[in-house]
Chain A
Amino acid sequence: MIVAKRKPFDEIKEYIKDYKKVLVAGCGTCVAVCLAGGEKEVDILNTELDMARRLDNNPLETGTITIERQCDVEYLEGLDDVVKDYEAILSMACGVGIQFLAERFPGIPVYPAVDTTGMSANLAVGLYEERCRSCGECVLGLTGGICPVTMCAKGLYNGPCGGTNNGNCEIDDDQPCAWFKIYERLATQGRLDNILKIKEPVGWNDQIPRTLIQPGYMKPEKDA
């Protein structure tokens, strides 16, 4: 899932310092599961802002709403009647949701209340580890199901480099070396021949904004 972490409070407060009426908009899917921007986190931020602005003698009128998904037009419709009462929106969705919200309400400033930090696995409550960089050219079939693009600090396709340290990465003793793990898994499976062959330079597919149209589908006429 997509994970995010809340921005520092002072940064959020600074964004909205000139507004008197602000809507805090949560998202009920990924960022809710990773405890960054769901209903509960919306309420907490709302309370913090309310208290801080009272202390500043600059009271803020806030509203809160959490919709199922800010990245989906179907759910955004529910906001149409709500946002018109506000001068600005603080979105607690991922970067996709924030942009989608800003696009739907182009007359109202939308500010991010979280930083989106990647696509991660849920290892324990509150603990998430990045596993995919959406490079667009998956090599997991070659590398034993361990992603070198994400988990190798240098993103090497022909690792490991010379910095492997007792199975860990040179950058941190707590960070396992992706290529050490790849080697071990492929050795266990008898598939080391996968990485004996040189992986030639890849064409980076993430250097321009990507649009995906699945086979059999097409862009709606109105946007074409």
Chain B
Amino acid sequence: MTEQRILHGADMLTERGRAEWDAAGVQVSALVDNPYKKDFPLLATKPSLAFLDSAATAQRPAVVLDAQRNFYESMNANALRGLYKLSVEATEAINASRAHVARFLGLTDADARDIIFCRNASEALNIVASSYGGSVLAAGDEVCITIMEHHSNLIPWQQVCERAGAKLVYMYVGEDGVLTEEEMRAKIGPKTKVVSAAHVSNVLGVENDIKLLASIAHEFGAVMVVDGAQSVPHLQVNVRDLDVDFFAFSAHKAFGPLGIGVLWGRHELLEAMPPFLTGGEMIDSVTEQAAVWAPTPEKFEAGTQDAAGIFALDAALTYMEGVGYEAIQMRESALVHTCMHRLADLDFVRIIGPADPALHHGVISFNVCGIHPHDVSSILDMDNVAIRAGHHCAQPLLAHLGIESCCRASLAFYNDSADIDKLISGLQHVWSMFHGD
């Protein structure tokens, strides 16, 4: 690593990159300055770290960590159960968070009853596959998903299809990662009972046209399920506008705590579904041989909930709303444009997915020619650059693309131009270690 490689900010921009920034309406200085980093204790205390793995899990702002602590310090009691003040406060905290999530997804407070808290997006999707899929699918039916699904929106459907004798049908994408209407219409048909798709791909970063998918699914009477794990951190979601039937996301990718997932479903569908897990809190009455289920959402929330996490999610949503999706998107768009242009200038790097930066929502996957992604990641780690390397829990997609594994840099609004500088100089370091200077 030579001294002249360590350059910063605008100095490192190519003319092409600079033009794109201006086109995106963002000043060069806007990415050098970082007004957000101070909000995130881990980032603030590790200034030399370039954290480029937010698609795996985001960092959390201090307000979220404080909320979690405040819950335990001031209102810790088992929610729903107790008749005393503290328990009532805990219950109210959960209900307030539930209503906030509903508004966050474009719904009203009255729709809070259709917000189910679970552990993560994977569990949310398992609830849909098992409870909804398990009760409607029969032999000969089809479930239609995209080839870009994360395993969490793939294996639950594999499992339920196998049990029901149903067929799991894939919608494929081209090299550019774009799912076309032609492909949707070729695969969704009268046998389709469920269409399930990632809102944003965790490998390609592309956004699927959920509104179109939903309208085609509904033409054939199928329900539309959306895995929003990768979209919620980057895109404003309105489930009514998207006209979908189920929507799942994870708090931990949206600057909230680990261990909290959200499932929203249409009320009439949730009401008709059997529970996923059973036990305490999810019943109206129990006799020795039978039980009557509680109404939704309690029906799907067996056992003691992570009330502190749910309270902290409320704080995370408030924080995101404070930053605002407009600011988030503008900054991320500028970061992605810059990062992709800088990567394109490295002739030993091949970007995976669309060439147009505007189609990447926070995620840029790539490979370094002839060097295994795990070696790339390990060497970048020596330079304090954190990226993900591997199959990204999307093995069928990688097989479809003809690769075994890849590197992934994922960005959030708390990243800045110094992070991109470190990634680029780190990749030059990787190349020079394998090929000399």
Partners in one complex: no
Which residues on A are within 8 Å of B, measured CB to CB?
A: none
